[in-house]
Structure 1
Amino acid sequence: MATDYDAPRVRDGEEEKNDTIVELDAARSRTTTSLLEDDTEPTDGLTLPGADLSDVQFEVRVIPKQKDEFTCMSCFLVSHVSQETKPGTSLCRDCA
């Protein structure tokens, strides 16, 4: 007996469903609409790209480079001297 792999599979205890494309499309659009409606609630603390932040004040404490740190000449990040490839090269291990 040959097996028809394109035939819909029905598990034990389930009935075969004969949904039309129109019914499936209607059910899909209802699901999509309900998901979009749930997602339209405003969220506090979230800023959108391009938002006007001119009235916001940022305070950042800048710590000067320490004696045991160096600035990589490739990526310009300040790293600990243990990350330097060779003493005096001013290249970090990631950039080497």
Structure 2
Amino acid sequence: MATDYDAPRKNDDDVSEDSIEELKNRQPNHQSSVVDEDEAEAAEGFELPGADLSDEELQVRVLPAQSDEFTCSSCFLVRHRSQVAREENGLLYCADCEA
């Protein structure tokens, strides 16, 4: 936040002259901390780790292999052709698996 150093500043006398009504208006309204919310209803939206997702269906679009890509026979990652380190019995291995 920018500060205007040329603006006149309040001294202690000016601060004490602020009315109580003005100070009350500056404070946000105090609301009750009690919330009327059903705990069971609120918990329905939370996903817990390890939850049973067997009835869920995953939508994935699989792209066909591109001409400049290969799948490493060791780590099974799809790599660019420039990453081929060796070919053995028709299987391609990437440079990371060779190291």
TM-score of the superposed pair, with normalisation by structure 2: 0.44
Q: Highest Rg: 1 or 2?
A: 2
TM-score of the superposed pair, with normalisation by structure 1: 0.45
- The structure whose residues are more often strand, as a share, is 2
